[in-house]
Structure 1
Amino acid sequence: MTIRLDEQDLSLPAGHTVADLLAQLQRPPESVGTALNGQFLRREARASTTLQAGDQVLLFQPIVGG
């Protein structure tokens, strides 16, 4: 299947989760924020969120502050 990752197409096997994608990209989970199809995706939901063909994933620098 093909998804869109940060403005580029990426082919992945069916059943890949967002957590699988980050592991494939060698990105530590705490080093990046994620959005799926324009909606923020919490870190806790990444392992249970299966990607579908045509999904759009955005990785961004998490912002902390108070």
Structure 2
Amino acid sequence: MNIVILNDTPREVVPDQTVAELLSELVLPARGIAVAVNGEVVRRGDWPTHHLRDGDRVEVLSAAQGG
């Protein structure tokens, strides 16, 4: 297992897990999500091919509605 830091919390992931696979485990809405790995935004089209490495810092952000 590898460890990534997901929104400041350590999380185990399988070696070479992709961003898309991680997001499917998190059960997030299909829209309104942005992902950055090590401070770099990962485009939605790259999620299925962007592999996570041990020690990566992953930030998952969701859009919020305000009033």
Shorter-normalised TM-score: what interval? 0.7 to 0.9
Seen in structure 2, the aligned counterparts of structure 1 residues 44 and 62 have a Cα distance that, compared at 3 Å, is farther
RMSD: 1.4
Match status 1:10 vs 2:11: yes
Unaligned runs of 5+ in 1: none
Quick check: which one's strand share is greater?
2
Matches of 1:29 and 1:46 in 2, distance apart?
13
Shift, 1:62, TM fit: 4.2
Do residues 25 (structure 1) and 32 (structure 2) align?
A: no
Partner Cα distance (1:29, 1:53) in 2:
26
Residue in 2 that maps onto 1:34: 35
Q: How many residues align?
A: 63
SS at match of 2:31: helix
Unpaired runs of at least 5, structure 2: none
User: Which has the higher mean CA deviation after the structures are superposed, 26-35 or 36-45?
Assistant: 26-35
- Given that residues 22 and 28 in structure 1 are in contact (C-alpha distance below 8 angstroms), is that contact kept between their aligned partners in structure 2? no
Aligned partner of 2:53 in structure 1 is: 52
Over the matched positions of the two proteins, sequence identity in percent amounts to: 27
TM-score (norm 1): 0.86
